[in-house]
Copies of this chain bind each other. A is one copy, B any other.
Amino acid sequence: MYRPIGVIHSEYTEQEETPIQGIFNPSMGEIEVFPEFAAGLADIESFSHLYLLYYFHRATSAKLTQKPFLDGEKERGIFAIRHFNRPNPIGLSIVELVEVRGNILVIRGVDILDGTPLLDIKPYVRQFDHRDEVKSGWVDNQHTDDIAVWNASPRGLRDRGRTNL
């Protein structure tokens, strides 16, 4: 049904090393858009942020409830967390667009495994995508500041496993 339009390159080759949520992580990466789709990149340089949709190619079997990273004591419904073992293993990330070099997009804030097949790019538009008065469920009760510390701690990730929230 879907074929990749490109591939995402990052410094992360193992799930256990990959950070949780790009907003907390300044690491750089590159998107390689296959040449036959490069014409679709016109005008993209005028956006500072992009949505990436991609295939969780290293996901295993889906589970309808999982323990999220931030609150690892309790299982949550898969549609209330962002774990990759989902019924349809499609990932969604917001990244900062740093530079466009032909069919290569240099990006910052990457929480994606190296070699991930890219399905789509959509512009992130403040006027459409910001919501006020948001309740973020169980995440509101967590210390998201801890994520930056966690991301800088490979050993912690190895010990507990990555769940991408």
> Which residues of A are interface residues toward B (Cβ below 8 A)?
1-3, 5, 21, 23, 33, 37, 39-44, 46-51, 53, 64-65, 75-82, 86-88, 90, 92, 94, 96, 119-131, 133-139, 144, 165
Contact = CB atoms under 8 A, between A and B. Distances in A.
A137 to B, nearest CB: 3
Most B Cβ at <10 Å: residue of A21, A40, A46: A40
Contacts of A94: 128-129, 131
B135 A47 contact: yes
Could you say how many copies of this chain the assembly holds?
2
Contact of A90 (B77, B119, B129, B130): B119
A110 B17 CA distance: 37
A90 B94 CA distance: 16
A126 B130 CA distance: 8
Contacts of A78: 40
Contacts of A39: 64-65, 77
B122 A139 contact: no
B48 A135 contact: yes
B65 A40 contact: yes
A33 to B, nearest CB: 8
